[in-house]
Amino acid sequence: MENFEFISPITIKGAVSQYKKGANNYYLAGGTDLIVLMREGILVPEKIIDLKTAGLPSGIKKLKTEIRIGALATLSEIEHSSFIRKEIPFLAEAAGKLGSPLTRNRATIGGNLCNASPAADTATPLIAVGAKFILSDGKKERRVKAEEFFKGVKQTVLKKGELLKEIVIPRSAGKGIFYKKSRIKLVDLATVNMTVYREKKKYRIVIGACHITPLRIRAAEEKLNKAKKIDLALINETAEIVVKTIKPISDMRGSAEYRKQLVETHVARLIGELAGVEV
C-alpha cells in the first residue's frame, strides 16, 4: 500500500473542498471496499478524506411521517434497529445479509449505495419503499428518488465531491419481502436479489444484480395494480414480464439463464405471499 495523506475535515463543506483538490482523492466512510482495493493496488489515493469527522449524520431517527437514516449508519445498526425491524423488516433483513458480522459493523449504508453495485443489498428495499436521498455539497442540498440515484455500474447522479447525507423513508403500513440468492450463505455478492412491496393493494417490484442498476419493473407493477383479482395465472404472467425486462449477465456467480430462472421463481413466490395466493 502506497503512502497517502489522511485528512479529517470537520464540516461537509471542508470534506468536499479537500476532495476537489485532486483527481485521485477518496472519501472514507466504513472503508470495507476502499481498503481492500488499496491493498490490492487497484486504487492508489493521494488523499483519504475521513467522513466520520465531517458532520454527516450517522443515526436512525423516527419522525411522525418518515424515518431518516444517516449515511454513516452502519449496516449492523440498521439490521438491529428495533423500529427498522418493526416498520421496515425487509430493509433490516437486507442489511443483515450483506457480508459477515465484522463487515456489517464497519460498512455504512451510504457506502453500500454510493458504491453503486447493481447487486447492492440495501438498494432494492429502499427503491421499493419510495425512499429519497438527500445529497449535499456542503453549500446546497438536493433530494433525489432512490430509483433515480443509480445510473450504471459504479455510476450515480452524485456530482464531483457531492455526498450522500441522509436517507428519507416515508412511514407507511405497507409490507415488503426481500430475497437474496448467493453462491454461499455469507460474504458473497448476490447472484440475484429483489424486493416486492405492497401498499394499499399497489405493488412495487425491484430486482437487483440483473441489470446495470437495481431495476424497478413498472410494467409488471402495472399488470398487478390494474387487476381486479390476483390469482396464480396473473402472478405467473407478471413474473414473465419481469424476466423479459431484466438483462442479466453470465459471470462467476451464475449464468444469465440461471438468474432468469431464479427471478421468475422467486418474484412469483413473493407476490403470492403478499397477495395471499399459494404459488
* Rounded distance between C-alpha atoms, residue 6 and residue 58, angstroms: 21
* Rounded distance between C-alpha atoms, residue 116 and residue 212, angstroms: 9
DSSP state of 226: T
Taking a C-beta distance cutoff of 8 angstroms, is the pair 1, 39 a contact? yes
Question: pLDDT-derived band of residue 187, with 50, 70 and 90 as boundaries?
Answer: confident
Taking a C-beta distance cutoff of 8 angstroms, is the pair 143, 132 a contact? yes
Taking a C-beta distance cutoff of 8 angstroms, is the pair 117, 50 a contact? no
Q: pLDDT tens digit string along 205-256? A: 999 999 999 999 999 999 999 999 999 999 999 999 999 999 999 999 999 9
Taking a C-beta distance cutoff of 8 angstroms, is the pair 45, 38 a contact? yes
Ramachandran quadrant class, 200 (left: phi over 0; alpha: psi -120 to 50; beta: rest)? left
Residues β-bridged to residue 69: 60, 167
Of all residues in the chain, the percent with pLDDT exceeding 90 is 95
* pLDDT value at 82 more than 80: yes
DSSP state of 159: P
* pLDDT value at 2 more than 90: no
The distance of Cα 195 from the centroid of its chain, to the nearest Å, equals 11
pLDDT at 272: 98
Q: pLDDT tens digit string along 118-164? A: 999 999 999 999 999 999 999 999 999 999 999 999 999 999 999 99
User: pTM to 2 decimals?
Assistant: 0.96
Question: Which alpha helices (DSSP H) does the chain contain, by range?
Answer: 12-19, 34-39, 75-80, 82-87, 89-96, 101-106, 109-114, 123-128, 146-149, 218-225, 232-245, 256-275
Which residue do the cell numbers 421463481 mark?
A: 265
Other Cβ atoms within 10 Å of 226 Cβ, number: 7
Which residue do the cell numbers 452502519 mark?
A: 74
* Rounded distance between C-alpha atoms, residue 21 and residue 190, angstroms: 36
Question: pLDDT-derived band of residue 186, with 50, 70 and 90 as boundaries?
Answer: low
